[in-house]
Amino acid sequence: MNLTDKGKILPILLAVCCIALAVILAAGAIVLYVDGAARRAENPLESIYTAEKAGQVMKAALPLFLVFLCALVISIALGVKPKTGKASKNAVRMKPQAEPKHVNTIRTVVIIAAVILIIAGILNGGALDVLVKAINICTECVGLG
């Protein structure tokens, strides 16, 4: 297998990064739980999940996430698409229809607005509030909190 071809190496890199991210984040969640359970045994009223501990897990995954993001942007810029299986002889080939230009414009505007609002929410501290609420809901749901 020739890995010098951009159509082969970038999807493999993306898959490896995605799997590694999942493993790192899962391991971080386990470490958070084990550490929190040990602290809760000492002080039952203490919150076992803190933003600082979650931030440490996220910092560990950040470099790999940035590599994944860069590889994704490069693959999109180069137009690398996953290979699909060959169509059978009896398959009917349909000509793809182009979407109207205004639909693409609307999508672009919505994506830009979403990114701007996400950044604004992070800057005003909303991400921390969401994280705390999500942790409380999850721990209550499974009976830990």
Q: Is the pLDDT of residue 1 over 60?
A: no
- Using the predicted structure, report yes or no on whether residue 130 has a pLDDT greater than 60: yes
Q: How confident is the model over 91-111, as pLDDT tens digits?
A: 566 666 666 777 778 888 999
Residues 65, 15: one domain?
yes
Instruction: Kindly report the number of other CB atoms within 10 A of residue 71's CB atom.
Output: 20
pLDDT at residue 17 in the model? 86
Gap between the Cα atoms of 41 and 92, Å rounded: 64
Tokens, residue 54 = 């979650």
Top-confidence residue, 95 or 56: 56
DSSP per residue over 41-75, as a string?
HH-TTS-S--HHHHHHHHHHHHHHHHHHHHHHHHH
Looking at the fold, whether 48 and 79 belong to one and the same domain comes out as: yes
Name the band, by pLDDT with cuts 50, 70 and 90, for residue 84. low
Same domain, 29 and 65: yes
Q: Which of 40-49, 78-87, 118-127 has the lowest mean pLDDT?
A: 78-87
- Domain enclosing residue 129, as ranges: 102-145
Same domain, 73 and 109: no
When divided into structural domains, the chain yields a total of: 2
The secondary structure of residue 79, as a DSSP letter, is T
- Asked if pLDDT for residue 3 goes beyond 50, the answer is no
Q: Is the pLDDT of residue 64 over 60?
A: yes
Over range 32-55, report the average pLDDT. 77
Q: At which residue do the structure tokens 């929410």 appear?
A: 121
Q: Are residues 63 and 129 in the same domain?
A: no
Same domain, 4 and 63: yes
For 18, what's the count of Cα atoms within 13 Å in the CB-facing half-sphere? 8
Q: What number is the average pLDDT over the span 67-86?
A: 75
Q: Is residue 91 part of a domain?
A: no
pLDDT at residue 89, as a whole number: 59
Residue 72 lies in a domain: yes
Q: What is the pLDDT of residue 88?
A: 56
Q: Looking at the domain assignment, is residue 88 inside a domain?
A: no
Give the burial class of 94: count Cβ atoms within 10 A of its Cβ; 0-12 exposed, 13-18 middle, 19 or more buried: exposed
Asked whether residue 94 is assigned to any structural domain, the reply reads: no
